[in-house]
Amino acid sequence: MEKIAKVKDLKRGESIGFHYKGKEGILVKTKQDKLVAYSRVCPHEGGTIVWDADINKLLCECHLSIFNVDDGTVYKYSSLFDKMGNLTPIELKVDNNQDVYAV
């Protein structure tokens, strides 16, 4: 397990980037106060995943693919692609001190 944040440091609708097992991740506190984390690597060609609070979705900066924040599934992607995979989830654990860990 690797500590990545404290619950109190994350405001609703915000995200932070973190490193876990040598890879980049993104942690989001949704507008419903749910914590979710995913690999920041787009499954298409490895572009960087960013959080867009205005539309409540995760985006790939390369080709503007859009992913659902609740489960990492594809919401929309370019018709130029044959297919698009979902984001890789990162399991989280919150301890009694409200520290958030990537498991």
Q: How would DSSP label each residue in 43-78?
A: TTT-PBEEEETTTTEEEETTT--EEETTT--EEE--
What CATH number has the domain bearing residue 61? 2.102.10.10
pLDDT of residue 80: 64
Note whether 85 and 44 are within 8 A (CB): yes
Q: For residue 10, what are the contacts with CB-CB under 8 A and spacing of at least 6?
A: 16, 27, 29, 35, 100
Q: Amino acid identity of 89? A: P
pTM here?
0.91
For 89, the token pair is 């989830």
Count up the domains in the chain and report the number: 1
Domain span at 23: 2-102
For 27, the token pair is 């942690």
Q: What is the pLDDT of residues 25-36, one digit of tens each?
A: 999 999 999 999
pLDDT of residue 96: 98
